[in-house]
Amino acid sequence: MATMEQCMTALKGILGDLAANPAAEGLDRSLSCRIPDLGQIVRGRLARGTVHELRAEPEDQSLEKADIRLTMTSDDLVALTDGQLSFGPAWATGRIKLEAGLRDLLRLRKMI
């Protein structure tokens, strides 16, 4: 199991790349990544070509629902950033869960 510090570093990398993608221009959405094996949810905001306000909070204290929601284990998150896991196959097999509105999903498809 990866540490929360490793997960935060991995998320900053993934989300930074996502935010820098030209398809993300003008996008202003709340984000969350639920990491069930650590009992944490990492929240942030994708806006103005970068990720803002990235913070972790206990899963059981989280009430608000983000516009774009990811769920994956800590090991899968780190493997995704290390290049050992590809997003498409991991999503197709259920290792990574992505929830968002249809419009956001279509836009994310261009960015991932």
pLDDT digits (tens, 9 = 90+) for 19-30: 787 877 778 889
% of the chain exceeding 70 in pLDDT: 95
From 3.30.1050.10, 3.40.50.170, 1.10.3720.10, 3.40.50.1000, which CATH number describes the 4-111 domain?
3.30.1050.10
Domain boundaries, the chain: 4-111
Phi-psi region of 39 (alpha: psi -120 to 50; beta: other; left: phi over 0): left
Q: In terms of C-beta density within 10 A (0-12 exposed, 13-18 middle, 19 or more buried), how is residue 42 classed?
A: buried
What digits encode the pLDDT tens for the residues 41-74?
999 998 887 888 899 999 887 667 899 999 999 9
Q: What pLDDT is recorded for position 110?
A: 60
Q: In what order do the strands lie in the sheet with 68-71?
A: 50-58, 40-47, 29-35, 68-71, 97-100
Question: Does residue 38 register a pLDDT over 90?
Answer: yes
